[in-house]
Amino acid sequence: MPSRCTSRTSGGSYTVALFNLGDAPAAVTADWPALGFTGRAMVRDLWNRENLGTYHNKITQALPAHGSRLFTVTPQGPVQPETAYEAEAAGNTLSGNASVADCGSCSGGKKVGNLYLGGKLTMNGIHADKAGRYVVDIAYVSGDARAVLISVGDGGFTSHKLPSTGDWGTVETVSVPLSLKAGANTVTFDSGDGYAPDIDLIRVPDPS
């Protein structure tokens, strides 16, 4: 049985405790709207003294039976309009072992997986109204921490190690800075010579 407890600090952050009161492992979620805000928030694991990065609208953790976690959640200002691009969209390009798979917790019920040993997902038609550096949200699934190589267009690849989402049925979001040109862009996720996370979607901010 999942449960959570929250309190508001004087500095505007939230202290969030997640509990699994059941006798079996379970995924437990804290939704930002339930706390009174939406958009991005920085999350810090208080017990492990570790910054977990930026999460979009929620955080989900896989907890053992009778387990718990304690976080500080700090909102990052008003939500910015974004455009979502699905990994499984028909216009994207899959290479190597990459394939579309069912995913009950993913947007649209699908994801792109089997990104290993050279498997690639190239997302085409990622639009930017103007050239610049964008903080792009990546929704992904990964039962363990895995690295993925990300590139835009013909630019070089940058390796990003994404933390485990707890299991292969839970979606989490990380934020990655990408330099986009005005107009249509391609964003490629490459497993290289290893194993990469499954990709659900990306969200690109709309410039104000």
pLDDT of 3 strictly over 70: no
106 CB neighbour count, 10 Å cutoff: 23
pLDDT range class, residue 21, cuts 50, 70, 90: confident
Of 6 and 148, more confident: 148
User: Which of 146, 174, 158 minimizes the C-alpha distance to 43?
Assistant: 174
pLDDT of 185 strictly over 80: yes
User: Which of 123, 2, 127, 109 minimizes the C-alpha distance to 66?
Assistant: 2
pLDDT at 2: 59
